[in-house]
A and B are shown apart, each in its own frame.
Chain A
Amino acid sequence: MEITAEKAKEHTAKAKETAGPVISIKGLKKSFGSKEVLKNINLELEKGENIVILGRSGTGKSVTIQCIVGMLTPDAGSVKVFGQEVSELSEKELKELRIRVGFLFQSGALYDSMTVRENMEFPLTRVLKMNDQAEIDKKVEEALDSVGLLDAIDKMPSDLSGGMRKRAGLARTIIVDPEIILYDEPTTGLDPITSREISDLILKIQKKQKTSSIIITHDMECARIASDRVVIMNDGEYVAEGTFDELHQSKDEIVKSYFADIP
């Protein structure tokens, strides 16, 4: 069965009726060979909430969000998105779920062989199966305008700067109106000004589209701007959780190390 634009709207309507956390992770474990990356992860993301996950490289932050969208299968534990157990979904159900969960990759992951416009059109025509060109053009322009990239509509990804690629990637993520967005290090490799612009954009999208988000970052400024709640991960486990200000006051040595440069 094809996933139509109407079906995606149905999902949106259904989600609005969904009570409780939009993502619920319990006892998540994941190993690669003998290396245990996730030891016991428990997390709940409420509707409209932005959670920032902080942690050193290799602590399993990206693995956690990859389990949420079914890119990786957990070894143990439960990952529920909109109340559905991800590992038990059929191929078709997983595809439907992925329309509701946007994923912004660290690099932006724009399709190299397509212009920015074609990148934007891709999920509309291939995933939502839209075929009204006027409606597609309108959505593309709206999405690019919301990230301030309308001028780059006919450029190739290779002609864009790092920040522009991330903004274009973000526009491609939000163009299908996801209810949850997972950000994998959205500000890594960017200068402080562009990083701040991206962080502001994340916040703007949350307010405008009422999305719930999990943001993986090392960027404390991004965490300060975009988070409702911050979770700190160390060695495959969550070691602290709270608002940015609460964690800033923490006496825990691991937590303090993250806020060492924050006045």
Chain B
Amino acid sequence: MAEEVIIPAWKRWFEGIGDQVAFFFKFFKNIFAGGFEWSEFVRQCYEIGYKSLMLVGITSFIMGVVLILQLRPTLVAFGAASMLPRTLSVSFIREIGPVIIAIICAGKIASSIGAELGSMKVTEQLDAMEVSGANPTQYLVVTRIFATTFMVPLLSVLGDAIGLFGGFLALNIRDSMSFKLYFTKIIAALDFTDFIPALIKTIFFGFAIGFVGCYKGFTSNKGTESVGLSANSAVVTASLWIFVIDAIAVQITSLLYYN
């Protein structure tokens, strides 16, 4: 009896992997199918990028403030309060900024894409597009994945800047440091090997967010409950992928630059 339960679960898991690979190739094939949907791509960049700006900005600002407030007592205890800008900038640019912003985007964007496409599936809009002879993958999937791949790195860069600015304000609650000195210390602490790998991994984060959102939406079951499940599953899966990509990126970066 137990085997009967386990075998279908594994089968479903492998089927899911197979479906995702097939979906990836379908997406890849449609990139080169001709007639890129520029207007839909721009609309998605607006929806994904501009409409996430406030959320990313506020979150990054708070993260910058909180990090400084948390780091300060420890660094002061070691007489290293002047290291605060350096510590914040390296940790924020390399790791905290990209990952936190990607997680925020997974929550907002992957769920919204999953719910939108899931809802289109439930209301037969995807079928209608398909049977009309149009190409839903080209119109809906390629544009959304490209938009997230393009916008998440931009949001990440912007979030990093806002987070560091938040850190500057927090630093001046207890201490006093001019913006020029703070900025100089940050620039001195950072290297391209901090910034470029972090930027590259946000491209992969963006791709994962778009891909998972679209896949979950397209494979949603018919029924209103599935729309919620697709959105929820998109967030969970995209968040998981972000951590997996981050772990791989850290290993590669360490091998290339820090060993």
Binding site for B on A (CB under 8 A): 2-3, 69, 71, 95-96, 98-99, 101-103, 105-107, 109-113, 122-123, 126-127, 169, 172, 176
**What are some 9 contacts across the A-B interface (CB < 8 A)?**
A98-B132, A102-B132, A103-B132, A107-B123, A107-B124, A109-B128, A111-B125, A112-B125, A127-B134
Shortest C-beta distance, B209 to chain A (Å), equals 19
Tell me the minimal C-beta distance from B219 to chain A in angstroms.
16
CA–CA, A95 to B131, complex, Å? 8
Q: Which of B92-131 contact A (CB under 8 A)?
A: 116, 119-120, 123-125, 127-131
Using Cβ atoms and an 8 Å threshold, which residues of chain B touch A110? Answer: 125
In the complex with contacts A103-B128, A105-B128, A109-B128, A123-B133 CB distance below 8 A: yes
Known A103-B128, A105-B128, A109-B128; contact A3-B133, beta-carbon cutoff 8 A: yes
Known contacts A2-B34, A71-B130, A112-B119; decide if A106 and B124 are in contact (CB<8 Å). yes
For the complex formed, measure the closest distance between the CB of A234 and the CB atoms of chain B, giving whole angstroms.
24
Choice from A2, A96, A113, A127 contacting B132 with Cβ under 8 Å? A127
Pair B134/A109 contact, Cβ less than 8 Å: no
A127 pairs with B133, CB closer than 8 A: yes
> In the complex, what distance in Å separates the CA atom of A9 from the CA atom of B116?
35
Contact of A105 among B119, B124, B133, B135 (CB under 8 A): B124
Instruction: Write the residues of chain B forming the contact surface with A, with a CB cutoff of 8 angstroms.
Output: 34-35, 116, 119-120, 123-125, 127-135, 139
- Complex contacts, A111 vs chain B, CB 8 Å: 120, 125, 128-129
Known: A2-B34, A103-B128, A112-B125. 10 other contacts (CB 8 A): A71-B127, A99-B132, A101-B131, A103-B131, A105-B128, A112-B123, A122-B134, A123-B132, A126-B139, A169-B128
Closest 3 CB pairs of A and B: A109-B128, A98-B133, A109-B124
Asked if A126 meets B135 with Cβ closer than 8 Å, knowing A109-B123, A112-B123, the reply is yes
Query: In the assembled complex, which residues on chain A have CB atoms less than 8 Å from the CB atom of B120?
Result: 111-112
**Contacts of A109 on B, CB cut-off 8 Å?**
123-125, 127-128
For B134, give the chain A residue with the smallest CB separation.
A126
| Bound-complex Cα distance A99 to B133 (A) | 6
Are B133 and A96 in touch, CB under 8 angstroms?
yes
Say how far B240's CB is from chain A's closest CB, in angstroms. 29
How near does chain B come to A233, taking the closest CB pair, in angstroms?
A: 21
**Nearest CB on A from B62, distance (A):** 32
CA–CA, A99 and B120, complex, Å? 21
**Judging by beta carbons under 8 Å apart, are A71 and B131 in contact?**
yes
Which residues of B are found within 8 Å of A112, using beta-carbon distances? 119-120, 123, 125
| Chain A residue contacts of B130, Cβ below 8 A | 71, 98
Known A-B contacts A2-B34, A112-B119; A98 and B131 likewise in contact (beta carbons under 8 Å): yes
Nearest-Cβ distance from residue A53 to partner chain B, whole angstroms? 18
State whether A176 and B132 are in contact (beta carbons under 8 Å apart), knowing that A112-B119, A112-B120, A126-B139 are contacts in the complex: yes
Q: Chain B contacts of A3 at CB under 8 A?
A: 133
Residue from B116, B124, B131, B134 with most neighbouring chain A CB atoms (10 Å):
B131
Give the nearest-CB partner of A104 in chain B.
B128
Q: Which residues of B contact A98 (CB under 8 A)?
A: 130-133
Contacts of B35 in A (CB 8 A): 2
Q: Which residues of B contact A2 (CB under 8 A)?
A: 34-35
Q: Is the CB of B139 within 8 A of A105?
A: no
Chain B proximity of A74: nearest CB distance (Å): 16
Kindly state the separation between the CA atoms of A103 and B120 in the bound complex, as whole angstroms.
Answer: 16
CB distance from A116 to the nearest CB of B (A): 14
Which of chain B's residues have a CB closer than 8 A to the CB of A103?
128, 131-132
**Complexed CA–CA distance, A210 and B115 (Å):** 40
**Shortest CB–CB separation between residue A153 and chain B, in angstroms?**
19
Given contacts A109-B123, A112-B120, whether A69 and B134 have CB atoms under 8 Å apart is: no
Report yes or no: B127 in contact with A123, Cβ–Cβ below 8 A.
no
Residues of A within 8 A of B34 (CB): 2
Which residues of the other chain, B, contact A105 by a CB distance below 8 angstroms? 124, 127-128
Q: Which residues of B contact A122 (CB under 8 A)?
A: 129, 132, 134
Contact yes or no, A69 B125, CB < 8 A: no
Question: Chain A contacts of B128 at CB under 8 A?
Answer: 103, 105, 109, 111, 169
A113–B129 CA distance with the chains assembled, in angstroms: 13
B residues less than 8 Å from A113 (CB atoms): 116
B133 — which chain A residues lie within 8 A by C-beta?
3, 95-96, 98-99, 123, 127, 176
- B15 to chain A minimum Cβ distance, whole angstroms, is 14
Note all chain B residues with C-beta closer than 8 A to A106: 124
Complex Cα spacing A8 to B131, Å: 15
**How far is B33's CA from A95's CA once the two chains are assembled, in angstroms?**
14
Assembly CA distance A176 to B124 (angstroms):
19
- Separation of A64 and B221 alpha carbons in the complex (Å): 20
Q: Give every chain A residue within 8 A of B119 (Cβ-Cβ).
A: 112
Chain B residues with CB below 8 A from A102, complex form: 132
